[in-house]
Chain A
C-alpha cells in the first residue's frame, strides 16, 4: 500500500478565533472533523459571536479534514440564523472533497464562498 495522503489524518475538532482586522469580518479557523462532536462546538461559538454583535463571520476550513451530514446541517442552520439578522457566514478554504459533498447536496448556490 502507498503512504496515505495528508488529508486523511484523523483529528478531533478545533476552533480558534483569529485577531480581527479593522473593517473585516470576524474570522474563525477550524481544524479536524466537523462531526457529531465538532458541530455543537461550532454552533455554540457562532451563536456567541452573533450575540457579541458580529453579524459577519469568516469560517476558514483550511484545517478541516472531514464534514459529516450533521456538520453540514449545523452550518445551514447557523447561516439561517445570521441571515435572519441581515448577516452572513462566509466559508473559505474548503477542500475539493468537501466541495463535492456540498455540490451533491445542492448547496453551492446557498453558501457564500470566500473569493
Chain B
C-alpha cells in the first residue's frame, strides 16, 4: 500500500508525492489510486517520485465509465503519471494575432469531429474564439517567444478546458465589460466578446501562476 500526499492542485489535474512505498507498490495498487483520483474528480494525476526510479510503463483496462486508464512512469523525469478521464485535446500556438485563425480552425475541427452533436457547441466555439482573440489581441506577452496553449476535455454532456498564456496578469472573467448601451449606434464597435464568454459558459476561473494567466472553463452540453 502506498501513501499519497497531494502537493499541487489544478482544475483538471493534481500532483501527489509518494510519501511511502515505491513504484512497484504503485503499479500493484493502481486501481486504488485510480479510484481515489475519480473520487476527487480528477482527470489527470501526476505522481512525482522521490528518487531515481527506473522508467517503466503500465497499462490497465478502463477503470471508470468512459475513461481510459493508464499508469505511466517516466524515471528520467522523476514522474509517474496516472491518466484517467475523457479525451483530451491540446494545441500550442505562438502568441501572435496571426495564430487566431490556426486556433479557430483547430477548435472548429476538434468540436466538429470529436464533440457531441449539440447546438451548444456553436456557442462554445464562439466562446473559445473570443477568449483566444482577447488574449492574442490585447495580452501583453512577457517574452518575445510567448505561446498560448489551449486544452479541451470532451464529454457527451460536459466540456471543460483551459487556456494558458504567457502574459501579464489579466482576468477576463472579472474585468470591466463594455456597456451594452442604447441606442446601439452609440456602442463601441468592439469589446463584446467577454459578454459572450461569461453568458455562455457554465463556470469559469482565473489564476495567475507566475508564468502567465491560466483560464479554466466548463460548459454543460444539452442533447
A residues in contact (CB < 8 Å) with B: 1-5, 7-10, 33, 35-37, 65-70, 72-74, 76-77, 79-80, 83, 95-97, 100-101, 104-107, 110
Which one of A66, A73, A80, A107 contacts B190 once the chains associate, using CB atoms below 8 Å? A73
Closest Cβ of chain B to A107, distance in Å, is 6
Closest residue of chain A to B100 (Cβ to Cβ) is A36
B55 within 8 A of A: no
Which one of A1, A83, A97 contacts B123 once the chains associate, using CB atoms below 8 Å? A97
Which one of A3, A36, A66, A77 contacts B126 once the chains associate, using CB atoms below 8 Å? A66
Contacts of B68 in A (CB 8 A): none
User: In whole angstroms, how far apart are the Cα atoms of A4 and B190 in the complex?
Assistant: 31
Contacts of B156 in A (CB 8 A): 1
Contacts of B60 in A (CB 8 A): none
Closest Cβ of chain A to B86, distance in Å, is 10
**Contact A1 B121, CB 8 Å, known A10-B109, A76-B187:** no
User: In whole angstroms, how far apart are the Cα atoms of A106 and B122 in the complex?
Assistant: 19
Closest Cβ of chain B to A66, distance in Å, is 7
Q: Is the CB of B115 within 8 A of A96?
A: no
B22 within 8 A of A: no
Closest Cβ of chain A to B126, distance in Å, is 7
Q: Is the CB of B190 within 8 A of A70?
A: yes
Q: Is the CB of A4 within 8 A of B115?
A: yes
Given contacts A68-B129, A95-B122, A104-B196, 14 further A-B contacts (CB under 8 A): A4-B113, A7-B119, A10-B105, A10-B109, A36-B100, A69-B192, A69-B193, A70-B133, A76-B189, A80-B185, A83-B185, A96-B119, A100-B123, A106-B180
Q: Is the CB of B125 within 8 A of A8?
A: yes
Which one of A1, A76, A95, A101 contacts B196 once the chains associate, using CB atoms below 8 Å? A101
B88 within 8 A of A: no
Closest Cβ of chain B to A50, distance in Å, is 16
**Contact A7 B122, CB 8 Å, known A33-B104, A70-B133:** yes
Closest Cβ of chain B to A102, distance in Å, is 11
Q: Is the CB of B130 within 8 A of A68?
A: yes
**Contact A77 B189, CB 8 Å, known A10-B108, A104-B199:** yes
Listed by A's residue number, 19 A-B pairs whose Cβ atoms lie within 8 Å are: A1-B116, A4-B117, A5-B118, A5-B121, A8-B112, A10-B105, A35-B129, A36-B100, A65-B122, A66-B129, A68-B126, A68-B130, A69-B130, A69-B190, A70-B133, A83-B185, A97-B123, A104-B196, A104-B199
**Contact A72 B112, CB 8 Å, known A33-B104, A66-B126:** no
Q: Is the CB of B195 within 8 A of A2?
A: no
Contacts of B116 in A (CB 8 A): 1-2
User: In whole angstroms, how far apart are the Cα atoms of A87 and B56 in the complex?
Assistant: 71
User: In whole angstroms, how far apart are the Cα atoms of A77 and B189 in the complex?
Assistant: 7
